[in-house]
Structure 1
Amino acid sequence: MLSNQTDTEIFQALRSGNLLALGILYERYGEVVYRVALRMLGNAQEAEDLTQEVFLYLWGGGTYDSKRGSMLVFLTTLTRSKAIDRHRQIRAQWQRIQRWFHSFPPESGSTLMEKVALKEISCRVREALAELPANQQQVLEMAYYDGLSQSEISEKLNMPIGTVKTYKRKGLLKLREILQDLVE
């Protein structure tokens, strides 16, 4: 019976096309992968998506070498790596938005249409910020309007830096969702 076999044997069965092997690995490690993803991303939906991505990677030809460590270590390392990649993507998208805003010439030389477009975009961003919870909104405004670092925000708000990072990350994720048409 496949479920009584070692992780390496089950992985080999998966490589041979046995889809039941993927289900067994998911039963064994799905919860751990989800918890690591949730801890790193701070968002249940993102954690679910990442969990699915990790197991799809295994199914789609991901490589696992039992000589380099256990399946548990492999999957948690893979999850951590993919979560870091997602953070980088979010940061890069936010930087693109900022560059886009800064690419507009100063208002004094702008045409009427450019001024109207910039004002409209600015209003949309402000409306999107207003949809965020107050703590996320405050942290993002301090970071991006006031130019404060996370440690400076932590000091000014008298809150742990981890909390500041969480508020910032969750706020950026929500903004990305709300302003998706501007980001893409």
Structure 2
Amino acid sequence: MSLSNQSEAELLQSMQSGDLSALGVLYDRYGEAVYRLALRILGESTEAEDLTQEIFLAFLRDDKYDSNRGSIIVFLLTMTRSRAINRLHQKRSQERLLQRCQRSTPDSTQNNLMDKVSLGEIAEIVREALQELPVNQQEVLKMAYYDGLSQSEITKKLNIPLGTVKTRSRQGLLKLRKLLKDLVD
């Protein structure tokens, strides 16, 4: 019997036994529906194409489909909706971060030699003030501000409780503020 005439259960069985052409048949059956949903949520054809491919590859790799909970198309569409929404959230977060960075970065017209010298001097003053903090506070602040780690990432890296990271960060920032009082005012 040809693969295109097989039921979902038979195609799934074939796919799980290593027959990639079964995935091709599932793609032929459901690819357009997955693509259309992705396009409707994401609004961009290239994004929708990428997500469609990602969905079918994830379906192949992950063994999360349970036939008792519904048909393959329902599973694929649910996965598509979830991942498309995740992509939108990520895209919006990246856009907000970019906007914050652009607002905090001086215009290129203001970026003359004196500004660069001034920023270098300020960076040196901050580095020196940082050296005056206790080592544990320095470590947390350097990881957060120089390495760009979140508090939860610092927690994992240092193997200390999140509350400890927050306390060290807060205390360090308060001490830095006192040390850099003239610079901040």
TM-score of Structure 1 vs Structure 2, range by shorter chain: 0.5 to 0.7
Unaligned runs of 5+ in 1: 117-184
SS in 2 for 1:63: coil
**Structure 1 position 112 matched with structure 2 position 108:** no
The residue number in structure 1 matching 2:46 is: 45
Q: Sort the Cα spacing of 1:47 and 1:8 in 2 relative to 1 into closer, same or farther, 3 A.
A: same
The residue number in structure 1 matching 2:7 is: 6
The residue number in structure 2 matching 1:81 is: 82
How is 1:142-181 mapped onto 2 (pairs within 5 angstroms)?
none
**What is the percent sequence identity of the aligned residues?**
53
Q: How far did 1:54 drift?
A: 0.7
Q: How far did 1:103 drift?
A: 3.3
**Do the aligned residues in 2 keep the contact of 1:15 with 1:61 (CA within 8 Å)?**
no
* Counterpart residue type for residue 83 of structure 1: A
The residue number in structure 2 matching 1:16 is: 17
Query: Which runs of structure 1 show a deviation greater than 3 angstroms over 4 or more consecutive aligned residues?
Result: 102-106, 113-116
Unaligned runs of 5+ in 2: 117-185
The alignment's C-alpha RMSD in Å is 2.6
* Counterpart residue type for residue 18 of structure 1: D
Q: How far did 1:9 drift?
A: 2.3
Q: How far did 1:3 drift?
A: 2.6
Q: Deviation digits for residues 102-153 of structure 1, max 9, x if unmatched? A: 33479xxx7635869xxxxxxxxxxxxxxxxxxxxxxxxxxxxxxxxxxxxx
Q: Give the Cα–Cα distance (whole angstroms) in 2 for the partners of residues 48 and 8 of structure 1.
A: 26
Q: Give the Cα–Cα distance (whole angstroms) in 2 for the partners of residues 99 and 114 of structure 1.
A: 24
Higher RCO structure (Cα 8 Å, ≥6 apart): 1
Q: Give the Cα–Cα distance (whole angstroms) in 2 for the partners of residues 62 and 114 of structure 1.
A: 60
Q: Give the Cα–Cα distance (whole angstroms) in 1 for the partners of residues 57 and 31 of structure 2.
A: 12
The two structures have a TM-score, normalised by structure 1, of: 0.55
The two structures have a TM-score, normalised by structure 2, of: 0.55
Q: Sort the Cα spacing of 1:42 and 1:62 in 2 relative to 1 into closer, same or farther, 3 A.
A: farther
Q: Deviation digits for residues 77-125 of structure 1, max 9, x if unmatched? A: 111111111101111110111221233479xxx7635869xxxxxxxxx
**Do the aligned residues in 2 keep the contact of 1:29 with 1:72 (CA within 8 Å)?**
yes
* Counterpart residue type for residue 66 of structure 2: D
Q: Give the Cα–Cα distance (whole angstroms) in 2 for the partners of residues 60 and 114 of structure 1.
A: 56
Q: Sort the Cα spacing of 1:77 and 1:115 in 2 relative to 1 into closer, same or farther, 3 A.
A: farther
